């Protein structure tokens, strides 16, 4: 057991040295993109970030430079972090802490079981269980982040559909495009609606196109419908009637897509509800049929 622990520590130190020796300079494209990126909200202080992240952020912050050198977080994870409003350092700290718990937990539990029960399972059990649990817990924060970001994007799409419906109603009532956008942005509530209102306010203060700001929001959050909306309105030009028709078609398309997604989710839930019944029926058949089959086989 001591040999396994020493080997794991030596391997981890060697990996840390190799990753630390790699160049960590960001690519030129990322630096240029950061220059044109809109200002974000103030960053949290280290104390606030630790309080928000819990014990995993406090214990895993020492592994953040190693994961940074390995090229983490990935591009998709950055988009998920942006829509969740989570600092990348906190996410990497949670990954490092989870991996450490997965690597150390199984050997410690095996040592405790050996001390209490007096049975030695052998070196092979911690040798394969520690890497498996470490890899599983290392990926667990990414899976949780992806699921939460998917729910946020669904909320953003729902808010966008409501926003477009209100804009179309305001345009049909004779309001101008700017007035319709302003009126439609004040009605919805929630996180996604506040992001849309923030994009509208940014466009008004910076004297830029509202649709371009919405496209920027879509690229930051990974919601393609916002980018498609900007491209659709750009093709419509500056004429109010054409913009109204474009928004009506886009709103109808989003309503149809949301109805299709809701129908698919309902069918998936129905399938999940039928799975326990099938398993219970299979177990019942096995419970009834095994004694009869065993009796027949032993009687031959």
**Residue 253: DSSP 8-state:** H
- Residue 271's SS3 state is helix
The mean pLDDT value for 86-109 works out to 88
Residue 297 pLDDT > 50: yes
Residue 38 pLDDT > 70: no
**Residue the block writes with tokens 């949670």:** 94
Kindly tell me the burial class for residue 73, based on how many C-beta atoms sit within 10 Å of its own C-beta (0-12, 13-18, 19 or more): buried
The secondary structure of 187-232, three-state, reads CCCCHHHHHHHHHHHHHHHHCCCHHHHHHHHHHHHCCHHHHHHHHH
- Residue 9's SS3 state is helix
The mean pLDDT value for 89-107 works out to 89
Contact of 209 with 237, CB cutoff 8 Å: no
- Identify which has the larger pLDDT, 124 or 142: 142
The mean pLDDT value for 112-140 works out to 81
**Residue 73: DSSP 8-state:** S
| C-alpha count within 13 angstroms, C-beta hemisphere, residue 37 | 13
240-280 pLDDT tens trace: 677 888 888 888 888 888 888 888 888 888 888 888 888 88
Cis peptide before 73 (omega within 30 of 0): yes
Residue 9 pLDDT > 80: no
Structure token digits, residue 214 = 């919405």
* pLDDT of 1: 54
48-83 pLDDT tens trace: 444 455 767 778 888 888 888 888 888 888 889 988
Segment 209-213 long-range contacts (CB within 8 Å, at least 24 positions apart):
210/178, 210/181
Residue 13 pLDDT > 70: no
Kindly tell me the burial class for residue 74, based on how many C-beta atoms sit within 10 Å of its own C-beta (0-12, 13-18, 19 or more): exposed
Q: Angle, nearest 10°, between helix axes 210-221 and 191-206?
A: 140
205-237 pLDDT tens trace: 988 888 899 999 999 888 898 998 888 887 766
Residue 143 pLDDT > 90: yes
Segment 41-50 long-range contacts (CB within 8 Å, at least 24 positions apart):
41/85, 43/87, 44/87, 49/87, 49/89, 49/90
**Residue the block writes with tokens 């177990």:** 283
Residue 147 pLDDT > 90: yes
Contact of 198 with 221, CB cutoff 8 Å: no
């Amino acid at each position: 057991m001591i040999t396994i622990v020493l080997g794991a520590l030596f391997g981890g130190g060697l990996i840390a040295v190799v990753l630390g020796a790699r160049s960590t300079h960001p690519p030129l494209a990322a630096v240029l993109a950061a220059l044109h990126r809109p200002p974000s909200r103030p960053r949290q202080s280290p104390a606030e970030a630790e309080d928000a992240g819990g014990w995993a952020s406090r214990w895993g912050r020492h592994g953040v430079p190693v994961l940074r050198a390995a090229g983490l977080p990935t591009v998709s994870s950055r988009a998920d972090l942006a829509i969740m409003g989570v600092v990348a350092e906190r996410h990497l700290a949670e990954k490092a802490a989870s991996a450490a718990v997965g690597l150390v937990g199984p050997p410690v539990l095996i040592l405790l079981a050996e001390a209490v029960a007096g049975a030695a399972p052998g070196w092979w059990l911690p040798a394969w269980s520690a890497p498996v649990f470490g890899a599983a817990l290392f990926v667990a924060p990414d899976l949780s982040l992806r699921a939460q970001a998917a729910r946020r994007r669904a909320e953003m799409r729902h808010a966008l559909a409501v926003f477009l419906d209100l804009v179309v109603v305001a345009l049909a009532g004779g309001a101008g495009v700017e007035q319709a956008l302003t009126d439609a942005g004040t009605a919805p509530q929630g996180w996604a609606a506040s992001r849309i209102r923030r994009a509208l306010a940014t466009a008004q203060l910076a004297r830029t196109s509202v649709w371009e700001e919405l496209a920027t929001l879509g690229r930051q959050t990974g919601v393609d419908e916002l980018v498609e909306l900007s491209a659709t309105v750009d093709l419509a030009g500056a004429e109010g009637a054409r913009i109204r028709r474009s928004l009506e078609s886009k709103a109808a398309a989003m309503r149809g897509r949301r109805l299709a997604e809701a129908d698919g989710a309902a069918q998936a839930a129905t399938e999940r509800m039928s799975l326990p019944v099938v398993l219970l029926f299979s177990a019942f058949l096995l419970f009834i049929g095994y004694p009869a089959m065993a009796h027949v086989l032993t009687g031959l």
